[in-house]
Structure 1
Amino acid sequence: MERTWITGFTQFELGIFKDTDPRVEVIKFAIQKKLKQALEETDDTYWVITGGQSGIEQWAVSATLALKPDYPQLCVSIMTPYQQFGSNWKQERQEQLHALVQQVDFSASVSPQPYQNAGQLQNYQQFMLNHTDNALLFYDEEAEQSKVRFARKAILQFQQHHPNYELFQVDFEKLQDYAEEYAEQQSDWS
């Protein structure tokens, strides 16, 4: 069994306010490409584990669910950091999260309590690291104010004691490469 933690920018950090934004398709393409590479190498169960944050995490769930019919060994889980995660979001975003939770193979909250303090987020990161074999992180150093920097820092620290834990990072330059590849494929299909 292999388990991949997918995390990264929120939709707001990327300046994407609608799922119909063409950049969402490029991000899903990048996620699917990476997953397909891993899935082609194994017949074992392969779990994608992510949180429920809008942006990369929710798009990862959608991208993974789209691959499931072709890869029966693929499973997806949403692990939220704490109970009632997203309950203060706009109704539309809450409904979107709820709809995704209904489609995944497993979902739970790491903390059984509603949000109380930042320690729950640190515990969440540690949980994700302890229960995955690698991470696919959408992050760029140019976005130094992004909250994703905390996940990256936690992963790098974890790697010091777990050298087999792999980090696959997609930065803005790599995302541009995916965008060009996606555009080429779209023009080939036309």
Structure 2
Amino acid sequence: MLKRLVVTGYKPHELGIFNDKHPGIPVIRRALADRIRGLLEEGLEWVIISGQPGVETWAAETAFELQEEYPSLQVAIILPFLNQEEKWNDAKKAAFESIMAQADFTTVLTKRPYEAPWQFSERDKFLLRNSDGILIIYDEDNEGSPKWMKRLAGQRADAGDYEVLTINAEDLQLAAEDMQAEKWE
């Protein structure tokens, strides 16, 4: 049973999303909500992200909405380094500040600003050590940044009791079709 779930995936630009009005965002959020809701029914307690823009931010926002239905759900944001958001645009910073303010737990792993890529690697190892499974929005035909975390999670799953769940392009298409069908009901 999954109690602590890391959620990750693509950054917005990797999906061709350049503003908050993009029609793909509600579809991604719907797919996340459907999957997380099913896991909540089975005993999920924590959604854990590292605060990156894109899938991670949308996952946190989705989890906050699900807290209305599942008040025991908690959200943790584990940042790899201080001031992660300092070079982001204003919209990404605002979304980041909003999720940080609503999170049940936040911390910064290295307690210092960005120095080198090892901080991302340490973040990934920490997240995998401190969770029971991972949900990755990922498509094998469009690797992008999530491929590294998916590879590490697969190694962790091969070595023991760890679950790797994915939402792929077909899952997103089904979510879009469900949303479209609901409009016509």
Establish whether TM, by shorter chain, passes 0.5: yes
Q: Secondary structure at the match of 1:12?
A: helix
2:183 is aligned to 186
Aligned counterpart, 1:129: 128
| Residue equivalent to 2:85 | 86
1:187 deviation in Å? 2.3
Distance in 1 between residues matched to 2:23 and 2:90, nearest whole Å:
23
Letter in 2 for 1:107: T
Q: For residues 98-146 of structure 1, give each alpha carbon's deviation from its aligned partner in whole angstroms, at most 9, with x where no partner exists.
A: 12100111111122121111111111000000111111000111113x1
Distance in 1 between the 2:109 and 2:14 partners?
Answer: 24
Amino acid at match of 2:99: L
In the alignment, the residues of structure 2 paired with residue 39 and residue 157 of structure 1 have an alpha-carbon distance, to the nearest angstrom, of: 25
CA RMSD of aligned residues (A): 1.4
Structure 2 residue 15 is matched with structure 1 residue 17: no
1:52-131 correspondence runs (5 A): 52-131=51-130
Q: Secondary structure at the match of 1:29?
A: helix
Partner of 1:171: 168
Deviation, structure 1 residue 68? 0.5
Partner deviation per Cα, 1:147-188 (whole Å, 9 max, x = no partner): 1111111111111212x2111111112211221122212322
Gaps of 5+ in 1: none
One-letter identity of the residue aligned with 1:172: A
Q: TM-score, normalised by structure 1?
A: 0.92
Maintained 8 Å contact 2:136/2:166: yes
So what's the TM-score if we normalise by structure 2? 0.94
Q: Distance in 2 between matches of 1:5 and 1:133?
A: 8
Post-superposition Cα deviations, 1:49-69, rounded to whole Å, max 9, x if no partner, equal: 012111100000110101101
Q: Structure 1: how far apart are the matches of 2:114 and 2:153?
A: 23
Q: What is the aligned partner in structure 1 of residue 30 from structure 2? A: 29
Compute the displacement of 1:83 (Å).
1.1
